[in-house]
């Protein structure tokens, strides 16, 4: 699932501005306070959370499949070598 670019808010949640003049350490925040605005944003959020995104079936390209095959083969060879060495060690001790 690709999340690149999904972190942007499409709804205006308010405005923040730095203080002007002598009040440079103060921040002014303007948020929607009308009940209809708040309810519509809430309903939109509930709708987005309740609906599942469409499932995207992505098939890797042949180069990636080949690379994965070789990595799996290398892992299996290493496991067989390690286990056979352990069996030979256990047999030589007995």
* pLDDT tens column, 3-14: 555 556 555 555
CA distance 94 to 82: 19
E-only strand ranges, the chain: 15-18, 27-30
pLDDT at 36: 79
* pLDDT tens column, 33-81: 777 778 888 888 898 888 888 888 888 899 999 999 999 999 999 999 9
Q: Which pair of structure tokens corresponds to residue 61?
A: 């390209």
CA distance 1 to 59: 12
Region of residue 14 (left: phi > 0; alpha: psi -120 to 50; beta: else) = left
User: Which strand (E) or helix (H) includes residue 69?
Assistant: helix 62-93
């Amino acid at each position: 699932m690709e999340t690149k670019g999904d972190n942007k808010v499409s709804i205006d949640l308010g405005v923040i501005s730095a203080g002007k003049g002598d009040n440079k350490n103060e921040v002014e925040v303007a948020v929607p306070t009308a009940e209809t605005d708040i309810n519509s944003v809430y309903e939109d959020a509930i709708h987005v959370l309740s609906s599942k995104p469409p499932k995207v079936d992505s098939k890797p390209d042949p180069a990636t499949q080949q690379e994965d095959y070789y990595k799996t083969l290398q892992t299996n060879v290493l496991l067989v070598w390690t286990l056979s060495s352990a069996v030979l060690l256990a047999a030589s001790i007995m």
